[in-house]
Amino acid sequence: METKLKTAVLGATGYSGFELTRILLRHPGVEKPVLLRRGVEGNGSGHGASHFHVEQPVNLADMFPVISGNGSYPLQPFSWELLKEQGVELLFLATPHEVSRALVPEAMANGLRVVDLSGAWRLRNAEHRAIYKFHDDDAELAEKLTGQAVYGLPELHGEKIAKAKLVANPGCYATSVILALAPLVKAGVIDRQKGIISDSKSGVSGAGKEPTPKTHFVSVADNLSAYAVFGHRHLGEILEQLELNSGELIFTPHLLPIPRGILSTVYVHLNREMKAAEVESLFRESYAGKRWVRVFATPKLPEIQFSVNSNFCDLGFVLAKDGRRLVIVSCIDNLGKGAAGQAVQNMNVMYGWNEQEGLQ
């Protein structure tokens, strides 16, 4: 890492973007990132969300005093010219889905590699992608980029990520559920006709920084609520990555009255009787050498407090006495392995670095 990588972050003022910025600032292979901000879209530009009128730069430390006292962190006006002048090679987009959808084609045209933290490029299936209601100016180009985008789950797609120009960082819920189920699906031991249930719960930061009536303190505190039942955006990711059909999985997200963390409890029926040691072996063999997945020996189960503020995905399970019913518990930090940490892990894979760099 003698020559440090030059990166830029668009969206550093959001929860995931700020977490990402903090990780990049301590990463040994990365120069201090260029921090970018969006303003009001310019009138008459003809280029959609990629051109903005921006007021005077602000210091990120004024918005997040936790990083104050260590220099200035100006948020500069976004422009492709600035990225070129600064020698930026990798652009992180921590932006709304529709903004990433508009910016990525131009980023590719400007020769940048991109890690996109939004859902803009995660989904191959148009039916799944319809939930975002994208309106592409160039549908043919968008379809081409969709085919080129690599789903950024290093434990499953490391070789493709290493060569990728565009990495679509997975959703937080999707990460927790996919990693819980992938070894079992690959081994073909799930009785898919009996269905899979994922009961998932997330801290409030997973809903983003913009407050809504459901995420205000009065609504969240001392409460637990289900939402987006049969209609959550991450469902399509889970189905596509595990090659399941919609009738084989019920996924229900819930909002926890905590700032961050996800716990997914996944219920499956097995198509043959198994021993706990055999199930544990499946998980351990699948994730052997995968630094950021920890498999707990049964019957110990993960808890949110074990993985919060880290890039770990913790997996544990309990097998019923009949050997045919299995409960898996998967825990991640939604801002870590579910967003910013995984984005940096993807960067490490893209540039041939140890996946631990900057994340320990």
Provide the annotated active-site residues: 172
E strand or H helix that includes residue 184: helix 172-187
206 secondary structure, DSSP code: G
**Structure-derived torsion over alpha carbons of residues 273, 275, 279, 281, reported in degrees to the nearest 10:** -140
Judged by DSSP in three states, 295 sits in: strand
| Runs of H (alpha helix) within 53-138 | 60-63, 80-85, 97-109, 126-129
* Residue 325: φ, ψ to 5°: -120, 135
Amino acid (one-letter) located at 57 = P
Among the listed residues 74, 80, 140, the one whose alpha carbon sits nearest the alpha carbon of residue 106: 80
- How many whole angstroms separate alpha carbon 137 and alpha carbon 107? 15
Q: How far is CA 70 from the centre of its chain?
A: 28
Chain position carrying tokens 């505190």? 221
**Planar angle of CA 85, 357, 173, nearest 5 degrees:** 95
